[in-house]
Amino acid sequence: MLIARHNAILEIARQTGRVTVEDLAKRFDVSPQTIRKDLNELCERKLLARTHGGALLSSGTENVGYEARRIISSTEKADIGAAIAALIPDNASLFINIGTTTEAAAQALLQHRGLMVITNNINVAALMRGYSQNEVVIAGGVLRHADGGIVGEAAVEFMRQFKVDFAIVGASAIDPDGSLLDYDYREVRVTQTIMENARHVILAADSTKFERTAPVRVGHISQVNTFVTDHCPSEKIRQIGCDAGLTMIETGAPPSVPEEAQDDQ
């Protein structure tokens, strides 16, 4: 039976998508060791998924809410977005698909000039609307109210009209075998079309995506030209990328203290 603190931790995770040992210890006025024990028990019950320094809401079939996704790793996403923007020259054509990390890339691209941006993300379109030096083309289709994504067959057919220089795509999860995963098969169809119609595909995904799972396969990391992340914790993924000729850009340093070492302190 879950204790009251466990239920409270789960509710915080539902609201924010992610919890940290440090914040929970302060909130409940208990030791970090106590919180780590709580998180381990919740993870054993498959209610949370453990991460370095905390835990994520565990869900293999449904994504975390949009506002919670914006909060998770927001600093890392901003750094990823800046690194992607540095790869895109002025006067380029590009796809930007659905996702909070791809939105961070759009934010970093606002000072570029002469871009033609085709997107199925109304948040990206709204963000770039006030910058007249770039042209924004938005796909038609079914509007997903949860996050402003435009999905469905109409969006797929729309994207097939273009052949662009770059595609900036995200993924909800990265499987240990290199599969790129998502939750909505309608979104996946659009993302696959975007990848097929770009000369250079850039995957934007922070390191928490290695700790999650999702039911629908978008493709494989070997289909990507450049992978921009804060840190890749998987040596297998590194090897797959190396074998495929993928360029990996890591914007942050890996965690310096293993979680097991913290537990012993």
| pLDDT tens, position by position, 87-131 | 999 999 999 999 999 999 999 999 999 999 999 999 999 999 988
Domains of the chain, start order: 4-57 (1.10.10), 73-250 (3.40.50.1360)
Encode pLDDT of 26-63 as tens digits.
999 999 999 999 999 888 877 788 888 998 876 554 55
Residue 258 has pLDDT above 70, yes or no: no
Encode pLDDT of 19-28 as tens digits.
999 999 999 9
Which residues are within 8 A (CB) of 211 and not within 5 positions of it... i.e. 6 or more apart?
49, 50, 51, 56
Structural contact between residues 137 and 116, judged by C-beta atoms closer than 8 angstroms: yes
Residue 73 has pLDDT above 80, yes or no: no
Check residue 168 and give its pLDDT.
Answer: 98
Residue that is written with structure tokens 């469905």 in the block = 152
Other residues' Cβ atoms within 10 Å of the Cβ of residue 5: 15
C-alpha dist (Å) from residue 47 to 7, 11, 32, 228, 246: 10, 11, 19, 29, 34
Interatomic CA distance for residues 132 and 121, integer angstroms: 18
Check residue 264 and give its pLDDT.
Answer: 42
Residue 141 has pLDDT above 90, yes or no: yes
Tell me the backbone φ, ψ of residue 203, rounded to 5 degrees.
-90, 125
Which residues are within 8 A (CB) of 228 and not within 5 positions of it... i.e. 6 or more apart?
80, 83, 84, 87, 202, 203, 204, 205, 248, 249, 251
* Residue 7 or 220, more confident: 220
Interatomic CA distance for residues 123 and 139, integer angstroms: 12
Structural contact between residues 235 and 256, judged by C-beta atoms closer than 8 angstroms: no
Interatomic CA distance for residues 150 and 141, integer angstroms: 6
Interatomic CA distance for residues 83 and 77, integer angstroms: 10
Check residue 119 and give its pLDDT.
Answer: 97
